[in-house]
């Protein structure tokens, strides 16, 4: 169902006048190819939603169980696929709703699909101006965020939308560049927003660094004024010494380059802790999200400084626990698991590494020999007792990662295409992956055991 809605900015008083539209059954559409229904979901399987970029708990861990671990060489069975336009943002899933964002024919498109059939619940789109920088065309990099019956998106040109998850009805919108001043980016906006209680927290840039909005009305509640601009990293929640905080790894396209970690009071927006961390070169970005570990956080960039484990004291002061120049992730967020950090290192993501969290000791690094494709800028997810890895050329792997080393449990070549970036999304035993080149599409695979 394609919805034609007026493009207006709603003020809080008008929200009371909105009559929610009735939800319609999802319908097939011309870009959908349905292959075969998935296996029935086991009654013993543990499942959960994947409502945001880093997963249900912002830590790249999922509680899903009973997943297919022995991958056929060509990959698990395809359930459906949808052709799409440009965009690196992975989808999100909540219940019987999957939401994706992409650009198609000079419009930014937000679509809500049925996760098992690919049929469309609704579509919402608007015009967007796309530019090219360093030979790369702008495309959405900020994934949608689902919270209850609301879905939030940040477009490549700063179009912030709040829509009804059920119907696609516009609740409120604003353009961040127009409202708060343009933020310097190489490839348009890219960090995902964070729903935190009744607030939507966005790394804005422009006249201030971070803003907290009322998630239901779009009213700006607080701002964090700091010289560091918005980055491609997504804000994450944290409890630091028993206090409610939001961690933001900031740093935009500035000369001289500047950026670092901000620990922000989630109620007031006050930056209570700061720690500078940015490559000393203009053509660099901060893009991997902070990894919260107790009263500390790990940040990493892929150009000159590498990774840093930062301790945050109860008085807000910060201290570098250790630095690892060779743990240099360009934009994929590492996974903290049972006392160790696992991730990819190098601007091209050439090696997988393991570091001890307490000491910063490198346990191992491994290029992981693959059949037919390079690992590249791979993403990791810990799920069903193992690590699921998506390589940058469309390679899917189950890995056994421990402080002793890396072992490939099974491997499949889903397709052979560059820029297969983004966390592999799993919900209710189904796997969703974007193919970003040589035939852009979103594919649903059956991982049910």
- What tens digit of pLDDT does each residue of 280-300 get? 999 999 999 999 999 999 999
Distances from the Cα of 312 to the Cαs of 204, 293, 321, 322, in angstroms? 24, 11, 10, 13
Tell me which H or E stretch contains 12.
Answer: helix 12-15
Residue 172 confidence (pLDDT): 98
Count CB atoms within 10 A of the CB of residue 73: 10
Residue 423 in contact with residue 389, Cβ under 8 Å?
A: no
Residues 66-84, mean pLDDT to the nearest whole number: 97
Put residue 349 in one of left, alpha, beta given phi > 0 → left and psi -120 to 50 → alpha.
left
Residue 372 lies in a domain: yes
Angle at 260 between CA 259 and CA 265, to 5 degrees: 120
pLDDT band (50, 70, 90) for residue 16:
very low
pLDDT at site 372: 56
Quick: pLDDT tens for 20-71. Answer: 556 789 999 999 999 999 999 999 999 999 999 999 999 999 999 999 999 9
- Does residue 7 surpass a pLDDT of 80? no
Say if residue 256 is preceded by a cis peptide, omega within 30 of 0. Answer: yes
In a domain, 374, yes or no: yes
Structural domain includes residue 314: no
Please report, for the domain that includes residue 119, its CATH number. 2.40.10.480
User: Is there a contact between 381 and 62 (Cβ–Cβ < 8 Å)?
Assistant: yes
Res. 369: pLDDT tops 80 = no
Domain that holds residue 66: 40-88+340-449
Q: Is residue 293 part of a domain?
A: no
Q: Poorest-confidence range of 135-139, 270-274, 390-394?
A: 135-139
Sign of the alpha-carbon dihedral angle for 226, 202, 341, 251: negative
Instruction: Give the residue from 172, 190, 205 where a domain finishes.
Output: 172
Q: Tell me how far apart the alpha carbons of residues 141 and 76 are, in angstroms, rounded to a whole number.
A: 26
Specify if 117 maps to a domain: yes
State the pLDDT at residue 3: 36
Q: Which of the listed ranges 183-192, 206-215, 368-377 does the model predict with the highest average pLDDT?
A: 206-215
Q: Assess if residue 134 is contained within a domain.
A: yes
Of all residues in the chain, the percent with pLDDT exceeding 90 is 85
Point out the domain boundary residue: 172, 195, 229. Answer: 172
Q: For all residues of the chain together, what is the average pLDDT?
A: 92
Q: Return the H-helix or E-strand segment holding 176.
A: helix 176-180
Structure tokens at 128: 């967007």
Task: Looking at the structure, tell me whether residues 70 and 150 fall in a common domain.
Answer: no
Dist. CA 168–CA 109, nearest whole Å: 12
Any domain includes 140: yes
> Cα(212)–Cα(227) distance, rounded to whole angstroms?
17
Per-residue pLDDT at 128: 96
Same domain, 75 and 144: no
The reply to whether 76 and 104 lie within a common domain is: no
pLDDT at site 371: 62
Residues 381 and 406 in one domain: yes
Return the SS3 of 434. strand
How far apart are the C-alpha atoms of 262 and 245, rounded to whole Å? 10
Question: Domain total for the chain?
Answer: 2
8 Å CB contact between 428 and 40: no
- Cβ atoms of 318 and 298 within 8 Å: the answer is no
Shared-domain flag, residues 162 and 83? no
Residues 84 and 113 both lie in one domain: no
Answer yes or no: do 380 and 402 share one domain. Answer: yes
Whether 17 shows a pLDDT value over 70: the answer reads: no
The DSSP code for 372 is S
Check residue 13 and give its pLDDT.
35
> Is the residue at 272 inside a domain?
no
- CA Rg, the chain, in Å? 21
What is the pLDDT confidence band of residue 216, given thresholds at 50, 70 and 90? very high
């Amino acid at each position: 169902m394609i919805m034609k809605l007026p493009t207006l900015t709603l003020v809080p008083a008008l929200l009371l006048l909105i009559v929610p539209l009735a939800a319609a059954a999802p319908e097939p559409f011309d870009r959908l190819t349905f292959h075969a229904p998935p296996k029935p979901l086991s009654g013993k399987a543990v499942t959960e939603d994947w409502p945001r970029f880093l997963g249900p708990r912002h830590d790249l861990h999922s509680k899903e169980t009973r997943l297919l671990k022995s991958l056929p060489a060509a990959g698990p069975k395809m359930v459906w696929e949808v052709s799409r336009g440009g965009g690196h943002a992975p989808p999100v899933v909540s219940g019987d709703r999957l939401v994706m964002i992409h650009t198609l024919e000079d419009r930014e498109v937000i679509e809500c699909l049925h996760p098992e059939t690919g049929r469309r619940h609704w579509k919402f789109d608007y015009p967007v101006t796309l530019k090219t920088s360093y030979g790369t065309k702008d495309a959405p990099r900020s994934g949608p965020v689902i919270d209850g019956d609301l879905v939030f998106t940040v477009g490549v040109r700063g179009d912030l939308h709040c829509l009804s998850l059920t119907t696609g009805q516009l609740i409120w919108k604003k353009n961040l560049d127009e409202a708060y001043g343009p933020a310097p980016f190489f490839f348009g906006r890219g960090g995902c927003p964070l729903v935190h209680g009744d607030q939507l927290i966005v790394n804005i840039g422009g006249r201030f660094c971070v803003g907290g909005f009322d998630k239901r009305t779009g009213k700006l509640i607080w701002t964090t004024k700091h010289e560091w601009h918005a980055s491609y990293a997504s804000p994450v929640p944290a409890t630091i010494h028993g206090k409610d905080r939001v961690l933001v790894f900031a740093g935009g396209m500035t000369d001289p380059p500047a950026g670092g970690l901000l620990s922000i009071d989630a109620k007031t927006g006050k930056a209570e802790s700061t720690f500078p961390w940015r490559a000393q070169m203009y053509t660099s970005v901060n893009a991997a999200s902070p990894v919260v570990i107790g009263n500390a956080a790990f940040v990493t960039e892929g150009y000159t400084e590498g990774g840093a484990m930062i301790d945050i004291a109860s008085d807000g002061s910060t201290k570098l626990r250790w630095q690892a120049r060779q743990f240099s992730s360009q934009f994929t967020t590492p996974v903290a698991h049972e006392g160790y950090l696992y991730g990819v290192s190098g601007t091209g993501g050439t090696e997988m590494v393991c570091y001890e969290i307490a000491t910063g000791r490198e346990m191992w690094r491994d290029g992981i020999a693959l059949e037919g494709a390079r690992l590249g800028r791979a993403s990791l997810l810990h799920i069903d007792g193992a690590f699921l890895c998506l390589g940058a050329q469309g390679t899917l792997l189950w890995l056994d990662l421990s402080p002793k080393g890396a072992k490939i449990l099974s491997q499949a070549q889903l397709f052979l295409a560059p820029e297969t970036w983004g966390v592999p999304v799993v919900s209710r035993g189904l796997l969703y992956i974007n193919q970003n080149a040589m035939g852009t599409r979103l594919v649903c695979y059956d991982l049910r055991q």
